[in-house]
Amino acid sequence: MGMQIHNIYTKGGSFLIKKVIMTGATGFIGYHLLRYLLDKNIKIWVILREGSQEIEMLQKIPNINVIICSLDNISQIDDICDERYFDVFFHLAWEGASGELRLQYKLQMDNAKWTAGCVEAAKKLGCKKIVVTGTVCEKQMDEIVHNKTFVRASNYLLAKDFARTMSFNMSKFFDIPLIWCQFYHPIGVFNKKNQLITNTVEKMLKDETLVFGSCESLFDIINVNDLVYGMYLLADKVKISNTYYIGSGDIRRLKDYLLSITEIIGTKSKITFGDATKDDLLIDEDWLSLYRIQRDTGYEPHWSFENSILELTAWLSDEDKYNLERWNLNASGCVCDT
């Protein structure tokens, strides 16, 4: 038996969502949201660019319809897609969200333009609302602007912040509710290998020596399954535009998270912590509060950090099996038996 949707997420709720359209379905968060929506028996229209490797695989999954349209042409989506009146438009796609691509200002500006374009597209398709993924680090804008040294993530964060501001403005113009989802550090199966925690776990499994900066900043590591659960609740229950933070409720210094991983895995890796760097931006604990999402949706995270690390460990220890099963999904979002 392969990966299953955990039934803790299938209880309760108003279940008003029947039909959605989404971008970014083949990415890390998008994949897990796709599985969650399938488990709810929701019909999904997936926007993919021409040449995407996953087109053929997604077309075989019940309840999924594939639309070929690049984000550059998203304003023409109403000419490409005949379906109308979706309950939700989920926009998750963002090119260059990690690594050196965050430095490419032209790409980041395009991402902001495409995000605002998705608000217009949602209106043209008759969507009831649009849900967009941002990042809590958008709130570091003031620090970035006034920082005298260059921060490597600055172009990415500038674009994210601009995308949020422009999209809310466009949502008012088109009179469509916009829910902007902020989060900090999601982890889970199929995450990128260059992502901090995934990379750390992989190296610890090999007992490699690890060198970090000071790691004194606050962190909030959330399991991707909790993240998409929170996104679904917001899409289902919130009717007016707003920004929401989705977190784990387990806020720690990054150093404490890393030391905890060594205990969970039982690694022989030696860890060295150094000094703070210019790229260490401050996080305010208030930014990580779950008050608003809990008040408006009843959201409660279900995954402990320990279980999230154990899940990562299982995946990294048997990647071939997981990769083989990845797109072998049925209409309920569960991996089919083979």
Write down the pLDDT at residue 11.
42
Q: What is d(CA 155, CA 107) in angstroms, rounded to the nearest whole number?
A: 9
Q: What is d(CA 9, CA 131) in angstroms, rounded to the nearest whole number?
A: 19
Write down the pLDDT at residue 43.
97
CATH topology of domain 19-191+220-249+282-303: Rossmann fold (3.40.50)
Write down the pLDDT at residue 98.
86
Contact between 254 and 200 (Cβ < 8 Å): no
Contact between 202 and 44 (Cβ < 8 Å): no
DSSP 148-196: SS--TTHHHHHHHHHHHHHHHHHHHHHT--EEEEE-SEEE-TT--TTSH
Query: Does the model's pTM come out above 0.85?
Result: yes
Write down the pLDDT at residue 281.
73
Write down the pLDDT at residue 3.
53
Model confidence over 248-273: pLDDT tens digits? 999 999 999 999 999 999 999 999 99
The alpha helices in 181-325, defined as continuous H runs, are 196-205, 224-237, 254-265, 291-297, 305-317, 319-325
Domain ranges of the chain: 19-191+220-249+282-303
Residues of the chain with pLDDT under 50: 1-2, 4-13, 336-338
Model confidence over 114-128: pLDDT tens digits? 999 999 999 999 999
- Token readout for 291 is 């008050």
Write down the pLDDT at residue 146.
80
